[in-house]
Every structure is written in structure tokens, then in C-alpha cells.
């Protein structure tokens, strides 16, 4: 029982932070879930959890969606999440996860340093961000930080950032969830987590929205990048210490 309580408390914290940061809970939830279940179960449970998490964010922040960015970032993300999800049966992911976190550290430092300056806002950056984030989401269960960095570069307002990220993530998670379920990744022993995670996704998103009401635009952008930076460094250290 204590094991389940700890898991749900950590998932709840991840959902709140994921909502406030705008890049979703998976970058926190994936390493947390890996302490409690095997990697393929982590992929399946994360995808299901995130579908409901994104539905709650779309409902709470629905007036802020930037449709142009959502399409240009979302279409390549959906295409490549399917590719990444299929490859989970064939490619070892630990080395890829390490490379991803090193990349996140570098990009986060750069964007924090340039936080007061506008970066180039191009369709190429949107497509590239969607491609990389989608592929990594399918392959290792989390690509939201790449998408978060891409959206942060476009300096969207808080509601637009979260709503646009959520609608892209919903399509991405829906696609990879189908692949994972078809591949038999969701085991019967993991089903007990799902009903509780659905509740956590809605309550955590709502609390995250309340917190956002007290954070300025500038602090919000810095918060997103610092959270990504901290998690990425932690993941690199954990990998190297194994």
C-alpha cells in the first residue's frame, strides 16, 4: 500500500509541475514510474496518463490554442511518434536517453542566457522541434521538453503555451498509446494505476492553473527552462552513476 501511495503522490507532483511548466508531466513521470514498473509498462501507462492529462489542459486553457503553431509542430510530431513507438521493440534506448538529456542541458542553458532576446521564429524550427519531440516521445516515453523548448523560443503567453502544447501532446500520446497497446505493453498488473492517474491528471492540472495565475510571463518562461535544465542534469547524473 505504501508503494502505491508514494507513486500517486509523486505522479500528482509531476502533473502540477508539468502543467505550470507547460511541457507536460512525462519528463518527470517517466523516471518516477520506472521505479515501480518495467520500461514497456512505463511507456504504456505514461501514454494513457498523458491522454487524460492533456484533455484536462485543453479544457482548462482552451481559449489559448495557437492553431498555426499547433499544426506546424504537431503534424511532424504525430508522424514521428509512430516511428519511435514502433522502434521500441528493436532499439536500446538508454544511450538515446542520455543524448537527449545532454541536448536539453545545452539548449536550456542557451535559452536561459538568451531569455530577454527573441530567437528566430521559423517554420523550420517548428517542424524540427515537432520531429524530434515526437520521435523521442515514441521511443523513450518523453519528448515534451523538446517541444517546450521549441514553444519557449516562440515566446507564447502562458495560456497559449500550455493549450498549444497540450493539443499537440494529445495527438502524439494518442498515436503512441495505440502502438503500445497493440504491442501488449500494458500488463494486467499495471491496470490498477489507471483510474487513479485519471483523477490525478484533472486535479493536478487544475491546481497548476491556479498557480499560473500568480506567475508573470517572464518568470514563467524562466521557470520552464530551469525545470528542464534541472531535470536533464539529474537524469544525466543518474545515468552516469549506474
Residue ranges per domain, the chain? Answer: 2-240
CB 132 within 8 A of CB 146: yes
Compare 175 and 63 and report the one with higher pLDDT: 175
Q: Residue 111 — pLDDT band, cuts 50, 70, 90? A: low
Report the range of poorest mean pLDDT among 45-54, 72-81, 158-167. Answer: 158-167
Note the residue count of the chain: 242
Q: DSSP secondary-structure letter at 141?
A: S
Residues 130-147 as b/e (b if ≥16 CB within 10 A, e otherwise) read bbbbbbbbbbbbbbbbbb
- CA 48 – CA 197 distance, rounded (Å): 9
What pLDDT, on a 0 to 100 scale, did the predictor assign at position 114? Answer: 61
Asked which of 58-72, 89-103, 122-136, 183-197 is least confident by mean pLDDT, the reply is 89-103
**103 has pLDDT over 80:** no
Q: What is the mean pLDDT of the chain?
A: 82
- Residue 213's contacts (CB-CB under 8 Å, 6 or more residues apart) are none
How far apart CA 203 and CA 53 sit, in angstroms, is 9
Amino acid at each position: 500500500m505504501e508503494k502505491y501511495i508514494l507513486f500517486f503522490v509523486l505522479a500528482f507532483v509531476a502533473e502540477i509541475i508539468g502543467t505550470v511548466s507547460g511541457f507536460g508531466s512525462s519528463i518527470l513521470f517517466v523516471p518516477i514510474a520506472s521505479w515501480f514498473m518495467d520500461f514497456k509498462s512505463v511507456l504504456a501507462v505514461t501514454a494513457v496518463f498523458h491522454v487524460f492529462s492533456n484533455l484536462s489542459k485543453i479544457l482548462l486553457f482552451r481559449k489559448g490554442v495557437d492553431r498555426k503553431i499547433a499544426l506546424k509542430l504537431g503534424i511532424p510530431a504525430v508522424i514521428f511518434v509512430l516511428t519511435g513507438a514502433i522502434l521500441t521493440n528493436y532499439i536500446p534506448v538508454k544511450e538515446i536517453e542520455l543524448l537527449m538529456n545532454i541536448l536539453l542541458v545545452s539548449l536550456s542553458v542557451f535559452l536561459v542566457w538568451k531569455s530577454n532576446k527573441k530567437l528566430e521564429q521559423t517554420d523550420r524550427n517548428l517542424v524540427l522541434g515537432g520531429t524530434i519531440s515526437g520521435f523521442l516521445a515514441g521511443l523513450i516515453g518523453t519528448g515534451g521538453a523538446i517541444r517546450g523548448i521549441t514553444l519557449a523560443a516562440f515566446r507564447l503567453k502562458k495560456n497559449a503555451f500550455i493549450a498549444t502544447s497540450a493539443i499537440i501532446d494529445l495527438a502524439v500520446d494518442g498515436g503512441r498509446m495505440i502502438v503500445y497497446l497493440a504491442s501488449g505493453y500494458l500488463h494486467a498488473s499495471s491496470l490498477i494505476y489507471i483510474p487513479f492517474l485519471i483523477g490525478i491528471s484533472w486535479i493536478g492540472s487544475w491546481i497548476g492553473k491556479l498557480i499560473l495565475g500568480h506567475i508573470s510571463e517572464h518568470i514563467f518562461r524562466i521557470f520552464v527552462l530551469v525545470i528542464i535544465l534541472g531535470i536533464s542534469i539529474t537524469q544525466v547524473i543518474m545515468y552516469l552513476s549506474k
